[in-house]
Structure 1
Amino acid sequence: MRKQSGAQVFRITGARQSLADDVRGRQRRYVISMSIRTLSVIAAAVLWNVERHVALVALVLGILLPYISVVIANAGRENIPSLPSTFVPAPSRPILPPPTAHGESAEPVPEAGTGPAPDEPNTPSGHQN
């Protein structure tokens, strides 16, 4: 396998869930909500003559749950902000210093009048001319 320079790398842990999983999850939430609605309407009918306050609460729940369920089921796919970014930058190469010419040394050249005099024994080669 060849490495491509400049290729984008993605983490699979930050990928969104598949569309099929998303639809299945929304359908499951809708069925659970509608089951609760059905139970609350049945409870309202059974408790109407026994405990009218509880029956009214169950009836209001049975009336409001379809709207809430449809809104939740039709909610679009959103990114979860708690997941890390899916983009991993490619590692960069270290910057090398520019190459020097063959005749030049890597040492800095002293300015005129600041280096040793030509008749002094401190020449770069270590011997006098």
Structure 2
Amino acid sequence: MARKEPEPIRITTATRSHSDDIAGRQRRYVISMTIRTICFLLAVVSMGHWFMWVFLVASFVLPYVAVVIANAGVSPDPGGPDEVLPDFTTRSLEGPDHA
């Protein structure tokens, strides 16, 4: 009877590398600042309209939101480790034969 090799344990809760984390934070910050710049430009273009105030408020609030999002902690990759249970199906030690 061939012995069955145990399957390796996956480690899927490891966090992202530091460079990947920094790159993700920078990408989120640049996207937020781009939206902020667009809101500010739309506020300037829409002078005299009521929605100018919406764009203006958004352009003042987004820097705070961008910094908070960019400084958010490292999040682990989705998923979790496989559940490891003891394998009771292997042969146990047998006592001496009493035949």
Structure 2 residue aligned with 1:54, among 51, 56, 59? 51
Q: Contact 2:44–2:52 at 8 Å: present in 1 too?
A: yes
Which structure is higher in RCO with an 8 Å CA cutoff and minimum separation 6? 2
Distance 1:10 1:97, change over 3 A: closer
What TM-score, normalized to structure 1?
A: 0.58
Q: Can you list the C-alpha shifts for 1:35-91, whole angstroms capped at 9, x where unaligned?
A: 110111111112113xx21111000100110010000000001225x5131x56487
Partner of 2:43: 44
SS at match of 2:50: helix
SS at match of 1:16: coil
What is the one-letter code of the residue matched to 1:98?
Answer: E
Equivalences for 1:15-94 in 2 at 5 Å? 15-49=14-48, 52-80=49-77, 82-85=78-81, 89=84, 92=87, 94=90
Equivalences for 1:92-111 in 2 at 5 Å? 92=87, 94-100=90-96, 104-105=98-99
Q: Which has the larger radius of gyration?
A: 1
SS at match of 1:99: coil
Q: Contact 1:41–1:59 at 8 Å: present in 2 too?
A: yes
Question: How many equivalent residue pairs?
Answer: 91
Distance 1:10 1:96, change over 3 A: closer
What TM-score, normalized to structure 2?
A: 0.74
Query: Would you tell me which structure has more helix in proportion to its own residues?
Result: 2
